[in-house]
Amino acid sequence: MQDKVTRIKVDWKHPTEILFGVNRISEIAQVCWRLGICAPLLVTDKGVARRDFVRKIIAFNADASIETAIFSEISGEPDADTVSKGALLFRKNRYDGIIAIGGGSAIDAGKAIGLTSAVGPMNLFKYAANEKVLPQPGRPIPPIIALPTTAGTGSEVGANTVITDPSGTRKISLHHPKILPRVVIADPGLTRGLIPYLTASTGMDALSHNLEALCSPVFHPMLDGIALQGIRFIKEWLPIAAAHEKNLGARVYTMAASIMGAMAFEKGLGAMHAIAHAAGGAFKIHHGRVIGAVMPYVLVENRRAVQEKMEHLARTLDLPHHNFQAVLDWLMELRYTLGLPSSLGALGIKAKDIPFLADHALQDINMTTNPVAMDKSRLERLLRRAVSGRL
């Protein structure tokens, strides 16, 4: 199995160019030159900046006469101040491209720095994803190369970026087609050694992308097929990846599932992500842990609208029974196996926080494609169950 997966080397193009396979970071200099980048700014966090593969990437570029600078001040979820600081560095030193390396936070930061370098920090939030008309940037948005080091967010194949607003309490999704990375180097070897906590949390995010996309009422049967296979990969490989951090086969298939989820959620997401954005922005809780905590409660609330889809999913996953309850039971068992919290209360969120969370979640763009229409009363009822842990 290990020999087989190390030989996987494929190029995909949906929605952008993806170079998928082990050891494909060796192609970084070729990609830079192809995009006209000779002085890139590498955006990452301090932990990833110390990894051997970052030194290799810089060396590969240096051998091709490409001088690479590092901005590694990303800490947790990217915020407006950090993004502005990175954009100022980019403009001041006249860099000509961005290499974003890391999990969703680092890649989102890289995309936001690229956008801010073109539009300025004062105009950044004019590009909120719920805006119907986006202003024209005053300068070209630089080309972006993305290298994911986790298998979860799928930010590397999206034209959105999520950052915390200047108040520090809200996570806002920004959008511009030019922040879609021009090339993604998806090298599963970069995720080897990822600690179980992050493997599990990011894996639940990948699962939710596929699951919420499947549940979305938008008609797109091709993406439904991608979502179904993505969920199957998660079922088969995420527990192995979490338990055996060096298992390369598990890393290959969980990374594929992450990319598939990001492709599928072109259909839209739902209340899981709306709640996670509200909770993550206000309480600084890891996105994937909130997703894992609320997933069963949202699914139960959406039951009447997704019953038939869950029956089909149960058959696809070869569950013991082909019904909604079988899918729910599998999700609960997976969450337990991964050691993830079973309620928002276990994450420190209290009943008094529910009105605040409901207000902010209802403003999130992902709520528009939830299978069941949500109002404040209904969402607060869901959140009370999620806080108490009672399904």
What is the reported pLDDT for 53? Answer: 95
Q: Are residues 234 and 360 in the same domain?
A: yes
CA distance 13 to 164: 30
DSSP 344: S
CA distance 186 to 325: 35
Cβ atoms of 168 and 158 within 8 Å: the answer is no
CA distance 209 to 200: 14
Cβ atoms of 63 and 26 within 8 Å: the answer is no
CATH number at residue 250: 1.20.1090.10
Judged by DSSP in three states, 235 sits in helix
Q: Are residues 137 and 227 in the same domain?
A: no
Helices (H), the chain: 2-6, 28-34, 46-49, 52-63, 80-92, 104-119, 196-215, 221-243, 248-264, 271-283, 287-301, 303-316, 324-338, 354-362, 376-388
Are β-strands 183-186 and 17-21 bridged in parallel, bridged antiparallel, or unpaired?
A: parallel
What is the reported pLDDT for 171? Answer: 80
63 vs 66, 147, 301, CA distance in Å?
Answer: 7, 19, 55
Backbone angles phi, psi at 59, to 5 degrees: -70, -40
Is the torsion defined by CA of 233, 234, 240, 241 positive or negative? positive
The residue segments making up the domain with residue 297 are 195-388
Q: Which of the listed residues 190, 215, 237 is the one where a domain comes to its end?
A: 190
The enclosing H or E element of 43 equals strand 40-45
Amino acid in the structure at residue 134 = L
Count how many domains the chain has: 2
Q: Are residues 176 and 201 in the same domain?
A: no
Single out the residue of 131, 90, 137 nearest to residue 109, CA to CA. Answer: 90
Q: Are residues 162 and 202 in the same domain?
A: no
Residue 143, preceding peptide bond in cis (omega within 30° of 0) = no
Cβ atoms of 174 and 80 within 8 Å: the answer is no
Q: Are residues 343 and 220 in the same domain?
A: yes
What is the reported pLDDT for 130? Answer: 77
CA distance 311 to 111: 38
DSSP 159: S
CA distance 41 to 49: 13
R_g of the chain, CA atoms, integer Å: 20
Query: How remote is the C-alpha of 58 from its chain's centroid?
Result: 25
Q: Are residues 199 and 184 in the same domain?
A: no
CATH number at residue 133: 3.40.50.1970
Amino acid in the structure at residue 287 = H
CA distance 93 to 254: 37
Q: Are residues 314 and 270 in the same domain?
A: yes
Amino acid in the structure at residue 328 = L
Q: Are residues 320 and 172 in the same domain?
A: no
Could you count the other beta carbons within 10 Å of the beta carbon of residue 56? 14
CA distance 319 to 236: 12
Judged by DSSP in three states, 96 sits in coil
Q: Are residues 158 and 202 in the same domain?
A: no
DSSP 193: T
Q: Which of the listed residues 190, 219, 240 is the one where a domain comes to its end?
A: 190
Residues with pLDDT less than 70, the chain: 1-3, 6, 168
Q: Are residues 177 and 211 in the same domain?
A: no
DSSP 391: -
